[in-house]
Structure 1
């Protein structure tokens, strides 16, 4: 299923769903950030996804990191909340969503690197390399807030 992301685009389709989601910034011992190259749009992104009815938001982040990267993580903090109504995601199955994403900080406690069926590549990236990667604006924003080591979470 293909995915198209719009940001502040008058030509974006009207949303027909609101999805609560979680993502996580996971770092290794060298300070590199775990990213995946998504299969549905070929862009780099943090691991994350939609919350199930039986999940908590931190639990969603833990589950999504495991599913998408193979790593077991524990949540260590909050990067921020991301609810910008100008960000619209359209899927080829007809879903057009607004997404409410809570982005956490996390550390690896087990598992091993694995590429899921949602990605073409998963790897740790040095923060200095992030600007060169094809990535949606909203992912860059989360990463920049993490890299800036903000004293309080971003609320937006």
Structure 2
């Protein structure tokens, strides 16, 4: 049972590219929030800036999203943000910086990710490389194969 719980936690950490300490902090924050801890945890992980950039189709992988955010290529509500773990809120506008829009990298990425469907909780304008977070996702809108209840059971011991 413990091995199964640990495996789920490790899977979630690997998918989102989060280390142990921040993951633990996300769990504790989710535990303090109203509602179910597991669903809150998944919502927090999904609302990280690097994940939102990936979901919008501005990066091929979450690791690439983390890198482009790290290189100050994105603006959140008009301000430059280079922290991949920045938690976006409903209504935030995320766009590629004007200087970065002309880079070949984004032309290639938009070609590769053009066929990928974006989740319904984000609104994306691929032409202007801009997107809006309409609402924070609920568990049904998150298509990550993780059983968050096992993670909650692991941490609540």
TM range, smaller chain? under 0.3
By relative contact order (CA 8 Å, sep 6+), the higher-ranking structure is 1
TM-score, normalised with respect to structure 1: 0.25
Q: Which has the larger radius of gyration?
A: 2
